[in-house]
Amino acid sequence: MKILSSRILVLLFAGLAVAAGLLLAEEEGYRTFTDAKGRTLEAIVVSKTDTAVNLLIKGRENPVEVALKLLSSKDQAFLKSWVPPKVPSAELKKLFLKQCRTLTVRELLELRGYESFKFTFANNSLIIPGLLNGKKARFLVDTGAHNTILHDAFAKEAGCRMGPYDEVVAGVGGTAPAAYTKVDRIQLGETLLLDKKLLCTDLTNGLPAGSKPKEDAIIGGELLARLDAVISYRERLIFLRPDLGDKPEVANLDEKAGEKESQFDFRIFKLKDGTTIRGKLVAKNESGTGITIELVNGENRGFTVDRFKPDDELLIRRWSEDAVAFERNCRDLTVKDLLNIRSYQSFETERKGNHIYVEGALNGQKAKFLVDTGADGSLFNIGSANQYRCEVGPMDQWVYGIGGRAPAAVTKFKSIAVGKTLIENRRILSADFSSRNSVGIYGGDFMRELDAVITYREMRLFLRQR
């Protein structure tokens, strides 16, 4: 950003003084600044350096940079001792919101200690990598699963201790026998889950002979809620909070829950040697090849940029001193704040047990849907499909779920609406399954189409019609 010249500053001071009428300096956080010749204007300090100040001038949308030497000695003295306010004024919040339009969900969440995982699509289901008892595993991210469940054949391979098959699991395909199993360790990136008692069942149940499941384990709603999961279809990322696992390896943190939130003002940096660094990037040398990271214990450590994995290396190369103020003011944004300025629609979800539901409409009548990332396709309960006057065909199709397979019918509906998002004149399947709390499943097909974002912490679903 260019520093304003003396001539431009003269015109700026004079023009704004006449136009604004010089309202009270204290109004809305504004301060009256005076140049060396006695002309005044009202502005809010956004940031400063040793030689210039970034001012948001009353009546303007964007801040301007003014050389300190052009201001009065009184203003220079004020700016020398100025520190950013803990609570920005309303006008500054508007500015920061505008600046944060370029922020991605990933950047927003990684400013506060979340770790991101790239997921891959298996049809429309979400798969992330992890380790179970040290063995590589494919985890299906399933908001429609009440609990985390293992594929029994994989559990045996991973050395889990299994009990008798005296439990039952249920899905759209019916029920299936299950056994409790003891799992020593699940690792999802930096998140560790230790000594878990989980159910396992045969995930090939109902599939054609010789079929293999696309997943080795299903991450259910209880773990997604515990880890404050955020799922972003457009970015193809899921975010988890490692500090909410069973062994948060973050030193020098106050264990008091009420204070802990404010201390997770850090990012997880990943190095090529497999180690991780938790801290804030605070400085970069002129050549851009070396950085300083302030660790969570307050210690500063230097690193060369080429030591980091590609995603982090790219972030570091893009980082500048201006990013410090930007991050400081954007870190208090919620996912809702960020997505609302990007034309997403935001919906409160209802949590029943470990399932989440969203209100909407089917064929113009109020309806409730189960939000299910584990379902490749959306699915109606056949009784609801008939009740809502959908066109239901013969039961000559099949649906597959954790309980096996069940007959289904191709069903045409006129419209499904959640808020102003609208899906019209489509065909999906209907089956006879228990859906006491909803008309059916809002599955991965619709959420992928509408760039869905799901947040467990805020308990919201965000959709955007493209």
HEC profile of 67-106: EHHHECHHHHHHHHHCCCCCCCCHHHHHHHHHHHHHCCHH
Structure token digits, residue 146: 């009440």
pTM listed for this prediction: 0.76
Name the stretches of the chain with pLDDT < 70: 1-28, 87-88, 96-97, 99-101, 248-265, 320-332
Sign, CA torsion 337/341/342/345: positive
pLDDT given for residue 329 in this prediction: 63
**Pair of tokens at residue 462:** 């965000």
User: Could you tell me the two tokens for 305?
Assistant: 């940029």
Cα–Cα distance for residue pair 285/451, rounded to 1 Å: 38
What integer pLDDT is reported at residue 248 of this predicted model? 55
Predicted confidence at residue 315, as pLDDT, reads: 79
Q: In the block, which residue shows the tokens 């062994």?
A: 247
**Positions of E strands within 259-387:** 267-270, 276-284, 290-295, 300-304, 345-348, 350-352, 355-362, 365-371, 379-381
Q: What pLDDT was estimated at residue 10?
A: 45
pLDDT value of position 348? 95
